[in-house]
Amino acid sequence: MIEIPPSLTRNSRKRDLFGGDPYFRDAWDDIVNLWPDSREQIMRLHQTALVVFRPDAIVSRRIEFALEIFNAKGLTPVAVTTFKYDRMRVREGWRYQLNIATRDRIDVMDMLLTCGRSIMVLYRQDLPDAQLPTTVWLSEMKGPSLPAGRAPGHLRFVLGKAQVSVLTFVHISDEPADVVRELGVFLPYAARQRALRSVNAGRDVTTKLRAVLNEQYASSAEHDLLMANVIQKIRLIIREPPHRKECDPLVDRLNAIQAGASSDWRGLLKTLKDRRIQLDRWDEIAIAAELCQRHFPDMLPVIPDVGLDAWTR
């Protein structure tokens, strides 16, 4: 077991669980080998934020807004790489939070996150806050997953036109301990070594980041992720032969969904498949994301999010 100091997390439950977590231990061993001095370990981790631009942010084509905000806040990208979520990374990335997620939400997360590559950026704060680790205050800036709580200053508000709970666009590690664990979850050994060496070198990799972003934009079509636009697209398709029918159950499904009387996205997608109406994968995701259930009521995650309050008390 690794004894994790409070300078990496203010959550005692997290310290207990992460001390034996294999992903945390993988990345921690790398960090100790690179920075043997414990004071340097803490300093480096306090200066560093881990940011993941997810596939929904990439297809929304609004990541430049976030880059401008980060630059204005005195943040310098010092490492950039890409990775692809798979079934295991989805579950291990949110191992201590998915206990409150419905089957519906997990299925849509799988659809969305595995649909393309994600961009991971490690940022250094050039003017470190004396009290707060960089990733703590930056995580607060991303805004909540619940759209009703997002405001124009939040990254999740800025990054996408579609404001839906499961479309969160950007992930930022809550605390320094999460930076360590998520390096272990998202990156295999060789990629993790490259990222940490890049952090150690401390060079501004903005040019590389722009190149990686343009590459990911080129590899996926743009999509606004608005279900209303997808439904309009379907309505136009079924007006034309050979899809047109006098009495059409598909129209009834669309009407019920738009009226708020149905959230059966699985039934809608099955009906479209049965009718051989081909949608883009992101069309399907836009529908499922809007209609899927969120969380089980009255349940708490194994490890709740840790925000500014825990660090400023």
- Partners of 170 in the beta sheet? 53
**How confident is the model at residue 240, as a pLDDT?**
82
- Partners of 83 in the beta sheet? 118
**How confident is the model at residue 247, as a pLDDT?**
62
- Mean of pLDDT values over 83-97: 98
Please name the residues in contact with 215: beta carbons below 8 A apart, sequence gap of 6 or more: none
Query: Tell me: the pLDDT tens digits for 158-204?
Result: 999 999 999 999 999 999 999 999 999 999 999 999 999 999 999 99
The CATH H-level (homologous superfamily) assignment of domain 12-220 is Nucleoside diphosphate kinase-like domain (3.30.70.141)
Q: How many CB atoms are closer than 10 A to CB 250?
A: 19
**How confident is the model at residue 1, as a pLDDT?**
84
**Which residue has tokens 């997390």?**
9
What pLDDT band is residue 47 in, cutting at 50, 70 and 90? very high
Contacts of residues 188-192 at CB distance under 8 Å and 24 or more positions apart, as own/partner, are: 189/26, 189/30, 191/81, 191/83, 192/26, 192/27, 192/30
Boundaries of CATH 3.30.70.141 in the chain? 12-220
Cα dihedral sign, 57-198-209-124: positive
The pLDDT of residue 129 is above 80: no
Cα dihedral sign, 215-218-219-221: positive
Angle, helices 265-274/249-258, rounded to nearest 10 degrees: 150
Which residue, among 117, 128, 130, has the nearest Cα to 49 in the 3D structure? Answer: 128
The average confidence (pLDDT) of the chain is 94
- Partners of 121 in the beta sheet? 51, 80
The pLDDT of residue 308 is above 90: no
Joined tokens for residue 310: 């825990």
Type of residue at 311:
W
The pLDDT of residue 127 is above 80: no
Query: Tell me: the pLDDT tens digits for 220-232?
Result: 999 999 999 999 9
**How confident is the model at residue 108, as a pLDDT?**
98
Type of residue at 217:
Y
The pLDDT of residue 130 is above 70: no
Beta strand 118-125 with 170-172 is unpaired
**How confident is the model at residue 278, as a pLDDT?**
92
